[in-house]
């Protein structure tokens, strides 16, 4: 006996499975041959006409069967292929099907011989499969179907369901027009247009309920689903040309994704972020406390780059918003650009190339030198600075570095005791510092005074760490022989805005539009890394890789509820959580606690029993910042 009286009726093709079964039968028969491709295209056309009500079902079925020239021997391979093409949200909710098997039916204009072996694995009874049956000749060739069955006729699903005389509320879930007809014809009381695999405009327009996944349906009907919150309700906003693979990863997870190519201003983001659960940015969009005040549903921010200075991390922490970045993914790309620019600058390659394009042949070795033996001074010895150190040394340079934090020197690199010391001895200076406020104008007019005459200068870190006017003046005076600049204090928010700078037009300056980490490989890696970290956090609560919340690597959640509690780091929180759990007779299966200077993060796995009052009490614990539950 089920807790709810509803009867669920599922369409099969493009609902229970992701594809059309006869399409797969065609692929099995013709094995991607040219003839098969042509036949498949025609079968898909006939299927769509039938699903949209533009062709009678009997005509559609007859035409498709005649085109296929299929045999009974083909069906085994089709069934095995389709078992791997069950819809993702159906797979996630396998337990729902088994628990409510008495009240679940499959109805299809397809064929029992294919459907039953697949749905049986989900606990659905063969007698609850309402579908057509093939006709075979003595050689096993499929020559037709039982034309007396109502399901090969127009409105066949309506008549078939009515003939069952099902008690209580009957709910139809499907993607096609024939599925919608069951509501229109009075055979069911509710119809969900199922769009996880295909969205048919004619069906979506008529349906009053649209379901991007089975999770959404079960959530809407207050059934226990495989997830605590439907994934299609999790809105993702991605700005600044985040890599398309990240978009696909979020979409594949079932999230509702919106992409905007450029950056947004504070006011624009305040408006756009309402209702957003996940925000993805690069370096130009700033997430301020004001923005976070408007982000009531925000759970995670991904900075699809190395830096996080564009995000107010303190404000994020106090709202329980986890921030993830990609600290190593574009390291190699930045280092390779730096090496290339150093070589071009010491060889005057850029200036020589410009003259050649103007028709000037200027063959001369004057002021053209090797990098071998030259002293490279690296300001900032993090992941980029240290890797530049290794590669530059391998190419024969003598490497010196300065960092405000003690760092292990790699290879033969030597640490300088002060920035002034490093600037005074370097033939080439390359900046690789982060964007913290204290680094603003770390290279100013005074710093340029410490440098050698004829020094080569590179900034591939942050725009505001260099006084651009002081740099321009030293380039014009000849103190700096050449420079390469990839980042600027003020940058266009998109590719349509003009770039304005006093460095424009200088022959001894290489200007690039903030592309240090913009290689296909780096952006691919960043897209995958950050997207996966965020999804892992949303799905499991794991904060490993978060730059602001205490880091915990959690095991997979299995047959349990997971309670995640972010709070101010004060004593007694864990005891209060456990007291409340004890009051409601919950069995703790596992518990994890991690703190930092300001925050505590408790994860508690409890048995499957869950009580709404328990949830309210956990939220009301003093100093609670955020509470979330997963199952």
Active-site residue set = 462, 491, 514
Do 322 and 332 contact (CB within 8 A), yes or no?
no
Task: For strands 599-606 and 588-595, give the pairing.
Answer: antiparallel
Based on the number of CB atoms within 10 Å of its own CB, is 520 exposed (0-12), middle (13-18) or buried (19 or more)?
exposed
Do 287 and 269 contact (CB within 8 A), yes or no?
yes
Residues recorded for the chain: 631
Do 36 and 29 contact (CB within 8 A), yes or no?
yes
SS3 of residue 49 by DSSP: helix
Task: Determine how many CB atoms are found less than 10 A away from the CB of residue 335.
Answer: 24
67/531 Cα distance (integer angstroms): 44
Q: Which residues fall within 8 angstroms of residue 252, CB to CB, at 6 or more apart?
A: none
254/445 Cα distance (integer angstroms): 53
Task: For strands 428-431 and 375-379, give the pairing.
Answer: parallel
Based on the number of CB atoms within 10 Å of its own CB, is 92 exposed (0-12), middle (13-18) or buried (19 or more)?
middle
262/265 Cα distance (integer angstroms): 10
Task: Determine how many CB atoms are found less than 10 A away from the CB of residue 285.
Answer: 24
- Residue 134 pairs with which residues in a beta bridge? 145
104/122 Cα distance (integer angstroms): 11
Q: Which two tokens stand for residue 276?
A: 């957003």
Among residues 334, 402, 94, the alpha carbon closest in space to that of 225 is found at 94
Among residues 532, 512, 530, 533, the alpha carbon closest in space to that of 522 is found at 530
Task: For strands 322-324 and 300-303, give the pairing.
Answer: parallel
443/458 Cα distance (integer angstroms): 11
Task: Determine how many CB atoms are found less than 10 A away from the CB of residue 522.
Answer: 23
Tokens 């920035």 belong to 419
Q: Rounded to 5 degrees, what are φ and ψ at 243?
A: -55, 140
Among residues 188, 186, 184, 185, the alpha carbon closest in space to that of 173 is found at 188
Q: Which two tokens stand for residue 302?
A: 């991904």
Q: Which two tokens stand for residue 348?
A: 């005057």
Among residues 608, 619, 531, the alpha carbon closest in space to that of 226 is found at 608
Among residues 617, 576, 631, 630, the alpha carbon closest in space to that of 600 is found at 576
Q: For the chain, first and last CA: distance in Å?
A: 24
Task: For strands 129-132 and 134-136, give the pairing.
Answer: unpaired
SS3 of residue 29 by DSSP: helix
320/613 Cα distance (integer angstroms): 22
Based on the number of CB atoms within 10 Å of its own CB, is 239 exposed (0-12), middle (13-18) or buried (19 or more)?
buried
């Amino acid at each position: 006996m089920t807790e709810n009286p509803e009867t669920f009726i599922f369409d099969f093709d493009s609902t229970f499975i992701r594809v059309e079964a006869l399409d797969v039968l065609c692929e099995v028969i013709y094995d991607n041959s040219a003839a098969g491709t042509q036949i498949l295209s025609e079968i898909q056309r006939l299927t769509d006409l039938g699903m949209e009500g533009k062709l009678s079902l009997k005509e559609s079925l007859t035409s498709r069967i005649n085109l296929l020239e299929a045999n009974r021997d083909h069906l085994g391979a089709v069934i095995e292929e389709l078992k791997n093409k069950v819809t993702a949200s159906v797979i996630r909710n396998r337990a729902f099907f088994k628990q409510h098997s008495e009240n679940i039916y499959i109805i299809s204009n397809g064929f029992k011989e294919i459907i039953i072996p697949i749905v049986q694995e989900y606990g659905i009874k063969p007698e609850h499969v309402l579908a057509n049956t093939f006709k075979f000749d003595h050689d096993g060739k499929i020559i037709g179907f039982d034309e007396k069955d109502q399901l090969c006729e127009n409105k066949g699903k309506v008549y078939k369901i009515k003939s069952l005389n099902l008690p209580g509320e009957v709910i139809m879930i499907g993607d096609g027009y024939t599925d919608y007809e069951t509501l229109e014809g009075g055979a069911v009381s509710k119809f969900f247009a199922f769009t996880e695999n295909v969205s048919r405009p004619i069906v979506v327009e008529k349906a009053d309920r649209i379901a991007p996944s089975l999770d959404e349906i079960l959530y809407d009907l207050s059934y226990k689903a495989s997830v605590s919150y439907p994934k299609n309700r999790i809105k993702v906003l991605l700005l600044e040309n985040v890599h398309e693979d990240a978009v696909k990863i979020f979409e594949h997870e079932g999230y509702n994704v919106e992409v905007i190519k450029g950056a947004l201003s504070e006011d624009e983001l305040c408006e756009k972020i309402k209702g957003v659960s996940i925000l993805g940015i690069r370096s130009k969009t700033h997430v301020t406390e004001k923005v976070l005040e408007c982000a009531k549903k925000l759970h995670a921010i991904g900075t699809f780059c190395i830096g996080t200075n564009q995000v107010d991390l303190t404000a994020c922490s106090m709202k329980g918003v986890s921030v993830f970045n990609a600290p190593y993914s574009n390291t190699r790309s930045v280092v390779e650009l730096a090496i290339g620019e150093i070589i071009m600058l010491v060889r005057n390659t850029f200036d020589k190339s410009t003259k050649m394009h103007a028709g000037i042949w200027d063959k001369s070795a004057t002021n053209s030198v090797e990098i071998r033996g030259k002293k490279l001074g690296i300001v900032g010895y993090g992941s980029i600075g240290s890797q530049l150190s290794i590669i530059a040394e391998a190419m024969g340079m003598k490497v010196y570095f300065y960092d405000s934090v003690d760092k292990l020197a790699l290879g033969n690199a030597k640490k300088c005791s002060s920035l002034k010391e490093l600037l005074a001895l370097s033939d080439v200076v390359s900046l690789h510092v982060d964007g913290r406020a204290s680094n603003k104008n770390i290279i100013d007019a005074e710093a340029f005074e410490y440098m050698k005459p004829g020094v080569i200068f590179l900034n591939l870190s942050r725009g505001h760490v260099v006084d651009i006017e002081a740099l321009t003046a030293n380039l014009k005076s000849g103190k700096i022989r050449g420079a390469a600049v990839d980042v600027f204090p003020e940058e266009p928010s998109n590719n349509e805005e003009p770039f304005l700078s006093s460095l424009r037009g200088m022959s001894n300056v290489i200007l690039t539009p903030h592309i240090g980490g913009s290689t296909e490989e780096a952006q691919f890696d960043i897209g995958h890394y950050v997207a996966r970290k965020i999804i892992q956090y949303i799905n499991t609560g794991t904060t490993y890789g978060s730059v602001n919340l205490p880091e915990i690597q959690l095991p997979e959640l299995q047959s349990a509820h997971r309670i995640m509690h972010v709070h101010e780091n004060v004593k007694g929180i864990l005891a209060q959580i456990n007291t409340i759990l004890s009051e409601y007779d919950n069995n703790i299966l596992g518990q994890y606690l991690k703190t930092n200077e300001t925050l505590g993060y408790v994860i508690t796995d409890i048995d499957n029993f869950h009580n709404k009052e328990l949830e309210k009490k956990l939220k009301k614990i003093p100093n609670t910042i955020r509470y979330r539950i997963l199952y």
